[in-house]
Amino acid sequence: MASIQQGSRLSTFAVLYRILARDILVAMRRQSDVAAVFFFFVIAASLFPLGSGADPKLLSSMAPSVLWVTALLSCMLSLSRLFASDFSDGTLEQMLISSQPLILVVLAKTFAHWILSGLPLVIIAPFIGLQFNLASESLQVLALSLFIGTLALSLIGSVGAALTLGLRGAGVLIAILVLPLYIPVLVFGAGAVTATTIGMSPQGALSLLGAILALSLVFAPLAASIALKIALE
């Protein structure tokens, strides 16, 4: 008995790890998809100074919202792919009828999505921030807020991706469903950076961002897995 219990306990982490590794491997076979999200972020963020003029003061006051909104949109762009390819080739159905809890599958896939579309933004955003004349302290807070925030974005987004799975026009629909839910993340994420640029402590906003992450970590995989079951019924 003991060995079986231990075996199943081990397999929980093994499942998480294997799905994660598999999703990243599959994505690496089609690197252009991953790169497209990354370049979208870089290009879209670079458009703003071209539209507003290159006044350094204006740029640094715009930077938190510009970078955060752009990050939010690029995270959203890749959401429709979260479950779509596994859904169309039947892998998702196999995952659903496997003995592993669907929540684990969702959690692993969401985490893979974050590594592929959130983490690159966290790394590149400070460099874009330099172009927007942000001070080094603000750049650190920007990276930290994006680190916490994009995780929450991927989690919340997984619900939208599961709800719109296999629908006509899922791409636009997902934006309508998910963007309103992203607003609190945007408010506190950009708020933390703005607070730093005007010399206030970003701690309050960052804590609230962490609270949103904790809340979405509990509820989002649950909601997404129920939505997946409905979609595959």
Partner 1 sequence: MSGLNMDTVKAKNGINWLKYASPKTFYPLAGRLIPWFSAGAFLLIAYGLYLGLLVAPTDFQQGEGYRIIFVHVPAAWFSMFLYLLMAGYAVLGLVLNAKLSYMMAKAIAPTGAMFTLAALVTGSFWGKPMWGAWWVWDARLTSELILLFLYIGYFSLQSAIDDTNRADKASAILAIVGAINVPIIYFSVKWWNTLHQGASVSLTKAPAMAAIMLQGMLVMALGFWLYSVAVIFARVRCEILERDNKAALLRQEI
**List of residues contacting partner 1 (CB under 8 A):** 159, 163-164, 167-169, 173, 176-177, 179-181, 183-184, 215, 219, 223, 226-227, 230-231, 233
Q: Among residues 73, 81, 62, 77, which one has the least CA distance to residue 182?
A: 73
Q: Among residues 99, 87, 131, 120, which one has the least CA distance to residue 227?
A: 87
| Shortest Å, Cβ 144 to partner 1 | 21
Q: Are 33 and 27 in contact (CB under 8 A)?
A: yes
| Shortest Å, Cβ 180 to partner 1 | 4
Nearer to partner 1, 148 or 159 (CB): 159
Q: What is the CA radius of gyration of the chain?
A: 19
Nearer to partner 1, 124 or 148 (CB): 148
Q: How far apart are CA 25 and CA 148, in angstroms?
A: 24
Task: Give Cα separations from 27 to 50, 96, 188 (angstroms).
Answer: 33, 21, 31
Nearer to partner 1, 8 or 201 (CB): 201
| Shortest Å, Cβ 163 to partner 1 | 5
| Shortest Å, Cβ 200 to partner 1 | 13
Nearer to partner 1, 56 or 166 (CB): 166
Q: Which DSSP helix (H) or strand (E) runs through 101?
A: none
Residue 118 CA to chain centroid, in angstroms? 5
Strand extents, DSSP E, the chain: none
Nearer to partner 1, 46 or 65 (CB): 65
Nearer to partner 1, 128 or 231 (CB): 231
| Shortest Å, Cβ 167 to partner 1 | 5
Q: Are 146 and 121 in contact (CB under 8 A)?
A: yes
Q: Which residues contact 173 (CB under 8 A, 6 or more apart)?
A: 164, 167
Q: How far apart are CA 64 and CA 132, in angstroms?
A: 9
| Shortest Å, Cβ 119 to partner 1 | 25
